């Protein structure tokens, strides 16, 4: 499973969105449109940190940096030292 797929799975779990609906979400779609609020965002970040063993810095914790699957994937890939393919 790719980083982007795992992040999509985490988002679906936190937002209680089924896999079928998550499969239709584009990486650039705004997560706010799926119902993400600030509390969900914190849950998503904590789950991503735990899953990938990374830490988000305070300056990265701005909603505009975390509002799409692509942005979250890019941040995790940078932290893991992997090239971004999104």
Whether the predicted model's global pTM rises above the 0.85 cut: yes
- Greater confidence (83 vs 62) lies with 62
Taking only the tens place, the pLDDT of each residue in 29-80 is 999 999 999 899 999 999 999 999 999 999 888 888 899 999 999 999 999 9
**Given this model, what pLDDT does residue 84 score?**
54
**Given this model, what pLDDT does residue 59 score?**
87
Parse the chain into domains and list their residue ranges. 3-80
pLDDT of residue 85 exceeding 90, the answer is: no
Angstrom distance (rounded) from CA 45 to CA 79: 13
**Given this model, what pLDDT does residue 86 score?**
47
Angstrom distance (rounded) from CA 58 to CA 82: 21
Residue matched to tokens 């971004």: 84
CATH code, 3-80:
1.10.1200.10
């Amino acid at each position: 499973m790719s980083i982007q797929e795992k992040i999509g799975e985490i988002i679906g779990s936190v937002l209680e969105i089924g896999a079928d609906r998550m499969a239709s979400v584009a990486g650039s779609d705004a997560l706010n449109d799926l119902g993400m609020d600030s509390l969900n965002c914190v849950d998503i970040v904590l789950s991503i940190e735990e899953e990938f063993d990374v830490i988000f810095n305070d300056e990265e914790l701005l909603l505009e940096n975390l509002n799409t699957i692509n942005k979250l994937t890019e941040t995790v890939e940078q932290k893991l030292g992997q090239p971004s393919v999104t």
